[in-house]
Amino acid sequence: MNLCRDPDHPHCTVWVMPGADTCAHGHPQPAPQAAPLAERQPNSALARPPRLHVSGFDPRAAGGRQAIKLDLRGMPGDCPPRLTMLLKSALHLYCPQQQSLARAADGNWCPAFIEFSSRGIEHGQHRIEVELHGRAGASSRSWVCSLVVLVPRADATLSEIHQAFLSSHKNVRVFADESSIARVNAHTASGTVDIDVTARNAGIARLELDAATPGPIQLGLPTIAWDEELVEIGLADAGAPHPYPADAASIVCPQPTPGMPRRLRLFAATEWTLGRFDPLAPAATVLLAHHPAAGVRRDELTRRLSAHHATIRAAGGGFTIEDVSRFGLLIDGEWPGKGRQVPLREGMRIDMTASVRGIVELQVAALLPHALVLARVDGGALAESFWLVVPGSEPGPARPGLPPVFHRAGGFWHRDPGTGVDSPLEPATVLERLACMPARARFAGGPYPETWSVRARVSDRRRGPMLSPA
């Protein structure tokens, strides 16, 4: 659909259905014209590049949480039908850093939403880096752009944020651009006030009319939105597909040692749910069970864990945890409150649950550029630890005691600390050169290879993972 294009009514904001001769207000629409040559030839050098339409941004929401909507427009016809969007920002992101965008049946793209907050962040301009990656067969295409959002001071007034435009005259045109604010106060006792208020590129238009103004009032309300051009980049070909695509796996050590448990459970995602180990109806990504002195028990006190107990998200280059349980959790001995996302730091202790202490106790062992390492500090310290890995992120410099394992191209990889060579991990892989682990640690094709393997339901992801005997 298009907005009304009647030249005699430039301020009409009514949408017009394709092929309609008039808008809802009866304004005649011009006849459609042939598309320019650059639009008919998307690959032409004169063609307008694809763009990302951003709407819903409000720079006045300093320190608050807000959501902006992203729409893909002008994408080439040979673009892969599904794209992966990666986000990076110093702002607090409350959405997955990796999202999937799909083309609808009518050719348009389903919108995506970015939720973020600037609480505790210095005022000024901050970037949100956006990357789009798509693969169709052996070819891949990628686009990048940067969104710049304004974070004003929390105590700033409208006039302090930007210059204010005040007018009470007839036939006034007010224009707001580049995050500026156009403010109009119209006070009149008679006659007609004709004011054209335009806002673009994240500008804000504010119009205040005196309630005593007689006669009809026709308003064309603007939208706080702008377009960012997507720049297509050429990346090196990913090569052959991963020999063992997996989003969940483990590394098994034959002899556990202090600081290096028997199993390193690997989970690749941008959002993880921690919950009760229930072999009949598991609903979480990371399954937890009570480890008393006698060994693991998946009943009794394990039942005090909720099926969805806590949610960990990768956001803004770090990780946050949120209590979503019935029984609560403690972070460094204090309950953070339900529904509140708490940034994680190295050394933090997470106790599940708040009602009964000592069922499962975890500690943030490491915060890496690409992963969060959670170690058990209870009876299961020698049994397992958990690696929450962000797909597509580089592992960064090697750290003593931590294997350089990361996730890329749909599977897990190991980077040799000496040569820097990346090797794909599959069930036949034996890790001989891990100085931080006993000799001949092996890669297993599931996060729980000792008794169960976890595989996702393809037909209905909402029902959670399903357990089947290994």
Neighbours of 150 (CB within 10 A): 20
**pLDDT at 31 (0 to 100):** 76
Least confident among 3-17, 117-131, 431-445: 431-445
Mean pLDDT calculated for residue range 119-142? 80
HSE-up of 371 (CA within 13 Å, CB side)?
29
Rounded to whole angstroms, the Cα distance separating 64 from 363 reads: 30
Mean pLDDT calculated for residue range 52-69? 81
pLDDT reading at 456 higher than 50: no
pLDDT tier for residue 322 given thresholds of 50, 70 and 90: very high
pLDDT reading at 311 higher than 90: yes
pLDDT tier for residue 163 given thresholds of 50, 70 and 90: very low
pLDDT reading at 451 higher than 80: no
pLDDT reading at 339 higher than 90: no
Among 32-41, 96-105, 328-337, 411-420, the range with the most confident prediction by mean pLDDT is 328-337
Is 115:69 a contact under the CB 8 Å cutoff?
A: no
Mean pLDDT calculated for residue range 46-67? 78
259 conformational bin, left if phi > 0, alpha if psi -120 to 50, beta if neither: left
Nearest-5° angle of CA 238, CA 80, CA 244?
A: 40
Name which of 146, 174, 31, 14 is nearest 87 in CA terms. Answer: 146
Q: Helix (H, G, I), strand (E, B), or coil: what is residue 463? A: helix
Least confident among 249-263, 385-399, 431-445: 431-445
In which residue are the tokens 């969060």 written?
A: 372
pLDDT reading at 221 higher than 60: no
Helices (H), 25-179: 37-40, 158-161
Mean pLDDT calculated for residue range 338-366? 89
45 is written with which tokens? 């050098």
Rounded to whole angstroms, the Cα distance separating 310 from 291 reads: 19
pTM of the model: 0.58
pLDDT reading at 58 higher than 80: no
Mean pLDDT calculated for residue range 92-109? 84
Residue type, 447: P
Is 122:153 a contact under the CB 8 Å cutoff?
A: no
Residue type, 39: E
**pLDDT at 466 (0 to 100):** 38
Least confident among 21-25, 69-73, 339-343: 21-25
Is 124:151 a contact under the CB 8 Å cutoff?
A: yes
Rounded to whole angstroms, the Cα distance separating 274 from 350 reads: 12
What percentage of residues in the chain have a pLDDT greater than 70? Answer: 73
Say which residue, 178 or 447, is predicted with more confidence: 447
Q: Helix (H, G, I), strand (E, B), or coil: what is residue 304? A: helix
Alpha-carbon distances of 393 from 10, 68, 422, rounded to whole Å: 48, 25, 14
pLDDT tier for residue 354 given thresholds of 50, 70 and 90: confident
Give the number of residues written for the chain. Answer: 470
Question: What is the Cα 366 distance to its own chain's centre?
Answer: 22
Among 101-105, 348-352, 356-360, the range with the most confident prediction by mean pLDDT is 348-352
**pLDDT at 35 (0 to 100):** 43
pLDDT reading at 381 higher than 70: yes
Say which residue, 342 or 13, is predicted with more confidence: 342
97 is written with which tokens? 């850093």
Say which residue, 368 or 470, is predicted with more confidence: 368
Which are the contacts of 467, defined by CB distance < 8 A and separation ≥ 6? 279, 282, 448, 452, 453, 454
pLDDT reading at 209 higher than 70: no
**pLDDT at 72 (0 to 100):** 93
Is 306:326 a contact under the CB 8 Å cutoff?
A: yes
The mean predicted confidence, pLDDT, of the chain is: 76
pLDDT in tens, 262-307: 899 999 988 899 998 887 778 899 999 888 876 777 777 888 888 8
